[in-house]
């Protein structure tokens, strides 16, 4: 059965050239969450869905949080008494 609706590739198509594939095929990195090998231009891991461009937001360090609470309590106590 013949294949229909297949057009030959044009010069201005976005398809990669064979030379580009050979040059950039090994440009990969590992996902920091699951360790899957990914191309270096992806935004999400195909395996676990981890957002690669997202920053890990850990919030305030514990010492800063404790210091803020103690200062807040000291101010409240000074205002009351």
Residue 81 lies in a domain: no
Cβ contact 36:30 at 8 Å? yes
Average pLDDT over residues 7-34: 72
Per-residue pLDDT of 30-78, as tens digits, reads 888 998 888 878 888 888 988 887 665 667 788 888 999 999 999 999 9
Three-state DSSP state, 63? helix
Residue 49 lies in a domain: yes
Complete DSSP assignment for 1-47: ----S--PPPTTSSPPPHHHHHHHTT-EEE-TTT--EEETT-SB-TT
Q: Which domain holds residue 38?
A: 16-55
Residue 50 lies in a domain: yes
The total of structural domains in the chain comes to: 1
Residue 77 lies in a domain: no
> pLDDT at position 57, please?
61
Per-residue pLDDT of 35-47, as tens digits, reads 888 887 888 888 8
pTM listed for this prediction: 0.38
Residue 62 lies in a domain: no
> pLDDT at position 55, please?
60
């Amino acid at each position: 059965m013949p294949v229909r609706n297949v057009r030959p590739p044009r010069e201005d198509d976005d398809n990669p050239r064979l030379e580009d594939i050979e040059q950039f095929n090994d440009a990969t990195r590992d996902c920091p969450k699951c360790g899957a090998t990914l191309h270096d231009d992806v935004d999400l891991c195909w395996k676990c869905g981890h957002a690669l461009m997202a920053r890990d937001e850990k919030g305030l360090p514990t010492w800063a949080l404790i210091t803020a609470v103690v200062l807040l309590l000291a101010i409240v106590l000074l205002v009351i008494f």
